[in-house]
Amino acid sequence: MIDLPLRIGLIGTGRIGQVHAANIAANPGAALSWVADPFVDGARDVVERFGGRSTADADEIFAADDVDAVLIASPTPTHVGLIEKAVDRGIPVLCEKPIDLDITRVESLRSKVAAAGVPVALGFNRRFDPAFAEVRARVAAGEIGALEQLTIISRDPAAPPADYVAVSGGIFRDMTIHDFDMARFFLPDIVEVSATGTNTFDPGAREHGDFDTAVVTLRAASGAVVTIINSRHSAVGYDQRIEAFGAAGALQVVNRSTSLVSHSSSAGVDARAPYEDFFLQRYAEAYAAELASFIALARGGASDSSTFEDGRAALILADAAQRSAEERVAVVVRLD
């Protein structure tokens, strides 16, 4: 028996929504059924390219009889309400991070999500990056012994616009939250957070009381230490690296270059092309794999999708980092 494609309703047609629409259209196990956006011209444009029906009202998606799952790529303040509607209707949902910027709103939905048993996945796509996933699997297999240190370097090519910073929730909830989830992908039992943030170059961050540079140290219950290094700019391109270190060795993921060709001459040796400079290029494979895993989850199969609990834990760590950086204290956390 051949499974019919999972009929997905997409909410939000901004940059990331369009990525998801393209991946749904490209996946033989999925079909774009509905597309909703208050700016209905955006929804119509996506439908023209990838199929489905368009609407300005997301409630039409939840009322439709041809929607098997929902993908939420709308602005963060809408996430809690839309997840709740999906859960109430018994519709599996994949929601972009974060669940919300306010942990109290997340906690208010937690018991309902747990009791309903409806699949809820969070869009921490970096778990699905082939290189990161390989390192995690090899660490889990004991290749380097017990994990002692994990270093995550994440630097954006350029700072975001000031009007984005104003509503982003700050660097820890907006940018570092991906790194918090990656840290928990390796070491889920984080118990303490220490963070330092500065503003050294970005007037938009300074205007809105945010940091443009940050370093976070996480301590796991095992004693392992995670170091996260963030910057809102990078002259060398999108800087995404990981090192896992243990008594028996280390595993590293280096940056992806735009070319495999190097040049050597009397002026220099092994000159290489720049790194990829945009997250949609760097994580294209990860977004496609994330969707495939969600399709499996929605069908009741095995899945590596991040959960509502993962999204909650990442936000708790982000809040702790914000407090640590502001008050210059180490913050003990409980993620259970």
Which of the listed residues 118, 137, 172 is the one where a domain comes to its end?
A: 118
pLDDT at 264: 87
Is the same domain home to 326 and 193?
yes
Beta bridge partners of residue 11, listed in sequence order: 36, 72
Instruction: Report pLDDT for 182.
Output: 98
Residues 62 and 106 in one domain: yes
Which residue segment(s) compose the domain that 36 sits in? Answer: 6-118
pLDDT tens profile 252-279: 999 988 887 888 889 888 888 888 888 8
Whats the size of the chain, residue-wise? 336
- Residue 30, domain CATH: 3.40.50.720
Rounded distance, CA 229 to CA 208, Å? 21
Could you tell me if 227 and 92 lie in one domain? no
- Confidence band for 2, pLDDT divided at 50, 70 and 90: low
How many independent structural domains does the chain possess?
Answer: 2
pTM as predicted: 0.95
pLDDT in tens, 145-193: 999 999 999 999 999 999 999 999 999 999 999 999 999 999 999 999 9
Domain boundary among 118, 147, 169: 118
| pLDDT value for 1 | 43
- Whether 216 is in a domain gets the answer yes
pLDDT digits (tens, 9 = 90+) for 10-58: 999 999 999 999 999 999 999 999 999 999 999 999 999 999 999 999 9
- Residue after which a domain boundary falls, among 86, 118, 150: 118
The CATH number of whichever domain residue 282 belongs to comes to 3.30.360.10
Round to whole Å and give the CA distance between 69 and 92: 5
Assess whether 274 and 143 both reside in one domain.
yes
The amino acid that residue 302 corresponds to is A
Residues 122/95, Cβ–Cβ less than 8 Å: yes
Looking at every residue in the chain, the average pLDDT score rounds to: 96
Per-residue pLDDT reduced to its tens digit, 35-47: 999 999 999 999 9
Is residue 296 one of the residues assigned to a domain? no
